Chain A
Amino acid sequence: DTEVTQTPKHLVMGMTNKKSLKCEQHMGHRAMYWYKQKAKKPPELMFVYSYEKLSINESVPSRFSPECPNSSLLNLHLHALQPEDSALYLCASSQGEAGGYETQYFGPGTRLLVL
């Protein structure tokens, strides 16, 4: 099973709202990722968690706050977003082996619209 699940599938929020995106995998993977994808563009890496510790933060604004409660779950907390943050937010996971060759498996994404 190579499934990564994400909830919700769609989210509409105002600029003053607080919301959270959730991601779950049961493949025993120890690395989890958040990506942002705009229409007709490749995914852009936001955060990487390795063994539940934040290992990469690609200079993402503080209105995005990641959290990794355990090895199977990854959250992205959203607060005071801007309309330009509207995008498809993708979660991915990989085995997390330090030797590389990290195949990343993506979830279906959450389509976020900020009004």
Chain B
Amino acid sequence: QQQVKQSPQSLIVQKGGISIINCAYENTAFDYFPWYQQFPGKGPALLIAIRPDVSEKKEGRFTISFNKSAKQFSLHIMDSQPGDSATYFCAASSGYALNFGKGTSLLVTP
């Protein structure tokens, strides 16, 4: 059973545009929401993470928006670059177990 639902499955954005990836969860016990970026043949790398007591967190071009009442969170990539082309996974956890979304394949075109 998929505990975290992620959309879209794939996304094409022009260079300089905004990439938006959305995730939703049901388990209110989740208390940590990281986003991972994965390039082909590499392990996932932590991009940015948020806790439910914060509604937004920004690090450089990456912003997480968190809506606790709706049980949704999203990743915004501003000024998207071709180097951002990768697969992005949202996740939610309480304790050790990370529950991943199915992933979004992002392609940023020149």
Contact = CB atoms under 8 A, between A and B. Distances in A.
Nearest to B94: A100
A66 interface: no
Contacts of A98: 95
Interface residues of A, number: 28
Interface residues of B, number: 25
A106 B43 contact: yes
Dominant SS among interface residues on chain B: strand
A48 B98 CA distance: 11
Interface string B31-49: 1101010000111111001
Contact of A108 (B31, B43, B94): B43
Chain B CB count within 10 A is highest, among A6, A33, A43, for: A43
Contacts of B34: 103-104
Interface in A9-59: 31, 33, 40-43, 45, 48, 50, 55-56
Given A42-B103, A107-B43, A109-B43, 8 more contacts: A6-B43, A43-B100, A50-B96, A98-B95, A100-B94, A101-B32, A104-B46, A106-B44
Interface of B: 31-32, 34, 36, 41-46, 49, 51, 87, 89, 93-98, 100-103, 105
